[in-house]
Amino acid sequence: MPEVDKGNALAGLERVEKAAIMLMALGEKDAAEILKHMGPREVQRVGTAMASMKNINHAMLEGVTAEFLEAVSGQSGLGLGSDKYIKSMLTQALGEDKAGALIDRILLGGSTTGLDSLKWMEPRQVSDLIRHEHPQIQAIVVSYLDPDQSAQVLANFDEKVVLDIIMRVASLEAVQPSALQELNDILESQFSGKGGSQTTSMGGVKVAASIVNFVDSAAAADLLEQISEIDEDLGTQIQDLMFVFDNLVDIDDRGIQILLREVTTDQLVVALKGADVNVQEKIFKNMSKRAAELLRDDLEAKGPTKVSDVEAAQKEILTTARRLADAGEIVLGGGGEAML
């Protein structure tokens, strides 16, 4: 059988689409077993991709399979210490920030069964569930959910309530096990698991910024203005963190192409020097083959660059991205309605 040209067979496919092809090839039973180990947002993304996949040919299937086998070759966790393997696996899969809290809950024995169940609920249901709880309880719940779901939950509250919750989220640093246990008692009829003695990292300015980033633009602007009136420094911190350079990977391909037309090559080279590899690949993917090759060459030829210069270049590009988003030309975070 001739060797599969993975590059051609999989050209233009997102990683989630490749995952969808792989799952469909496995069959319903095996695919269902895999989905059981995924989070609600992951299941939603993969499910949407599976529903939209049309005309999957043999070359695509062979290409995805070959790529999968290549990726997992030599990466088995057998023989490794379980804690080390779990930390390494989750960090590679989710990144350090997202994996950190999850690793703590797994390895330190934190019990968050009730909170986890909220991630599978509709935002309106979550809003109704916590509407009459103490604002600090509401803040903990909002901190725990994914930012986009949190923003949808907050959309069901009055402005003053949203302001109070976001301010509390920003001031959260750690939650005592007893508080988590109390919250789980509220959310489920029978508390399961044994809480550890360690506090659980939760909330903070970065989480608050991530949530506000998914709030409707006009509402977010009003919210930031109100926060700044109460605490100017906090308002500035949240605004600075609302959309960071690594978040460019979440902009859809059309949006990236529009952004690249507004950015100079010099800016791009400096900014990408300190960028995550996923962001770099996102940029390369949305350029012509020749332009991508030239950019790769420029990056390799570029000598050591000051962190301050990298941050300045990234900030300029982010400012451009926000301007395009305000004009309705792109959507930050990859969500929102389709643009004509």
Quote the pLDDT of residue 89.
58
CATH number of the domain residue 303 falls in: 1.10.220.30
Please tell me whether residues 164 and 237 are part of one structural domain: yes
Tell me: do 237 and 284 sit in the same domain.
no
Report yes or no on 93 lying in a domain. no
Of 188, 211, 241, the position where a domain reaches its end is 241
91 is a domain residue: no
Tell me: do 297 and 175 sit in the same domain: no
Domain membership of residue 193 (yes or no) is yes
| Same domain, residue pair 266 and 280 | yes
Q: Which domain holds residue 173?
A: 108-241
**Percent helix, strand and coil across the chain, each to the nearest 5:** 70, 0, 30
- Looking at the structure, tell me whether residues 204 and 274 fall in a common domain: no
* Domain final residue, candidates 44, 72, 100: 72
For residues 63 and 54, the answer to whether their CB atoms sit within 8 Å is no
Judgement on whether residues 253 and 273 belong to the same structural domain of the protein: yes
Per-residue pLDDT of the chain (340 residues; tens, 9 = 90+): 344 454 566 767 778 888 888 888 777 777 777 877 777 777 777 777 777 777 777 778 777 777 776 665 555 444 444 555 556 655 665 556 555 555 544 444 444 456 677 777 788 888 888 888 888 888 888 888 888 888 889 999 999 999 999 999 888 877 666 666 667 666 664 334 334 334 455 568 888 887 887 777 678 888 888 998 998 888 888 887 777 788 888 899 999 999 999 998 888 999 998 788 889 999 999 999 999 999 999 888 888 888 888 888 888 888 888 788 877 888 876 443 333 2
Residues 114, 231, single domain; the answer is yes
Phi, psi of 203 (to 5 degrees): 75, -160
Q: How far is the C-alpha of 30 from the C-alpha of 41, rounded, in Å?
A: 20
Would you call 173 helix, strand, or coil by DSSP? coil
Three-state DSSP class for residue 327: coil
Question: Between the CA of residue 264 and those of 128, 277, 294, what are the distances in Å?
Answer: 48, 20, 14
Q: Looking at the structure, do residues 232 and 253 belong to the same domain, yes or no?
A: no
- As to burial, measured by CB atoms within 10 angstroms (0-12 exposed, 13-18 middle, 19+ buried), residue 140 is buried
Report which of 97, 282, 106, 300 is spatially closest to residue 205, judged by C-alpha positions: 97
Does some domain include residue 94?
Answer: no
How high is the pLDDT of residue 154?
A: 93
Angle 271-273-279 (CA atoms, 0-180°, nearest 5)?
70
Cα distance between residue 225 and residue 32, in whole Å: 46
SS3 state of residue 97: helix
One domain for residues 279 and 232: no
DSSP 8-state code for residue 3: P
Kindly state whether residue 80 falls inside one of the protein's structural domains: no
User: Distance between CA atoms of 212 and 225, rounded to whole angstroms?
Assistant: 12
290 within domain boundaries: yes
Tokens representing 46?
């993969």
**Residue 92 counted as domain residue:** no
pLDDT the model gives residue 281: 92
Round the CA-based radius of gyration of the chain to a whole number and report it. 22
Residue 309 CB neighbour total at 10 angstroms: 13
Instruction: Tokens for 26, please give them.
Output: 């496995």
Is residue 251 packed enough to be buried (19+ CB in 10 Å), middle (13-18) or exposed (0-12)?
buried
Q: How many CB atoms lie within 10 A of CB 231?
A: 14
pLDDT in the model for residue 162: 92
The phi and psi torsions of 57 (rounded to 5 degrees) equal: -95, 175
296 and 325 share a domain? yes
Per the structure, the count of domains in the chain is 3
Instruction: Mark whether 179 and 286 lie in a shared domain.
Output: no
User: Which domain-ending residue is among 192, 208, 241?
Assistant: 241
> What pLDDT, on a 0 to 100 scale, did the predictor assign at position 329?
87
Q: Where are the beta strands (DSSP E) in the chain?
A: 174-175, 200-201
The answer to whether position 214 is within a domain reads yes
Residues 20 and 134 in one domain: no
